[in-house]
Amino acid sequence: MSQQHGHGAQARLAVSTVIFALSPDVDGDGVERPSLRIPLVRRLREPGAGRWALPGGWLPVDESLEAAAARTLHETTGLAPKYLEQLYTFGEPDRSPDERVVSVVYWALVHSDEVERAVADENVQWFDEDELPHLAFDHHEIIDYALWRLRTKLEYSGIAHALLGERFTMAELRGVHEAVLRKRLDPANFRRTMEASGTLVDTGERLAGTRHRPPALYRFDASRTPAAPPPTDAAAHDAAHASSASHDAAHAASASA
């Protein structure tokens, strides 16, 4: 029952992404606390023309959800995400004034290394996490949710490195945590916690040019990641690292009774 609606009266499927990156370190010496930044695009057509919105687009019939999110991200920022994960699917019937649109939303983390190359013109701008403009639709709620996810996940998972470059100091890594969690962390305890996680590798190199004692440079070792969740491969919610394809799996609607 209630199955055949014909292909005409369907909701349209969109994919959007909440992209996070760190503000460039002003001094380059790690003294300044970095802040979280999010790129938004200006809507050029109705509904919501002129307002800022999340980068996204309609889902092409032959493209996977994750691939669409990655493409969107690249088209907007010019960068490749180091981390990409499905966030939630928003689909209230009344969210878009004209037609029914269901949006599968992803969230992404981008290297600070490459942020300098980021696109930014009059229609694409990066906003500070706590200085967001008036947004189209309910994109503000979506971003709030993505921020909550990021903060929650940071506390039990080693994703902070995805916002840094290949090599980083312990202080830089701590700076990411402090910026995201919005609170100071004890350097001694932070170091021990990270070392205990076993996901960091001391490269042997040290960062010269600081005003004082040169800190060790670490890199993240993905192979040492704890245990990944059992489900659909990279399991979307609590695993892994972008790029790895096939988060998604098949399914088709089934008859009821």
Partner DNA sequence: TCAAAAGTGTTCGAACTACACCCATGT
Partner DNA sequence: ACATGGGTGTAGTTCGAACACTTTTGA
- By CB under 8 A, how many residues form the interface with a copy of itself? 89
Interface residue with a copy of itself, options 30, 35, 43, 216 (CB under 8 A): 43
227 binds a copy of itself (CB under 8 A): no
17 binds DNA (CB under 7 A): no
81 binds a copy of itself (CB under 8 A): no
165 binds DNA (CB under 7 A): no
Cα 208 to Cα 86, 169, 183, 214, distances in angstroms: 39, 11, 28, 6
What's the chain's length in residues?
257
Cα 223 to Cα 88, 132, 196, distances in angstroms: 27, 37, 15
Scored b (16 or more CB within 10 A) or e, 160-193 reads bbbbbeebbbbbbbbbbbbbbeeeeeeeeebbee
Determine contact, residues 118/31, Cβ cutoff 8 Å.
Answer: no
**Residues 17-36 contacting a copy of itself, CB under 8 A:** none
Q: How do the residues of the chain divide into helix, strand and coil, expressed in percent and rounded to 5?
A: 25, 25, 50
235 binds a copy of itself (CB under 8 A): yes
What minimum distance in Å lies between the beta carbon of 231 and a copy of itself? 3
133 binds DNA (CB under 7 A): no
253 binds DNA (CB under 7 A): no
Measured in degrees and rounded to the nearest 5, phi and psi for residue 126 equal -95, 130
Alpha-carbon torsion 25, 175, 77, 147, what sign?
Answer: negative
d(CA 206, CA 67): 37
252 binds a copy of itself (CB under 8 A): yes
- Amino acid, res. 230: P
138 binds a copy of itself (CB under 8 A): yes
Interface residue with DNA, options 170, 179, 194, 236 (CB under 7 A): 170
167 binds DNA (CB under 7 A): no
Contacting range for a copy of itself; rule: CB under 8 A; set: 27-35, 137-145, 175-183, 195-203: 137-145
CB atoms near residue 85 (< 10 Å): 25
32 binds DNA (CB under 7 A): no
33 binds DNA (CB under 7 A): no
Contacting range for DNA; rule: CB under 7 A; set: 61-69, 101-109, 110-118, 185-193: 185-193
User: Binding residues for DNA, per CB under 7 A?
Assistant: 30-31, 169-171, 186-189, 191-193, 196, 206, 208, 210-216
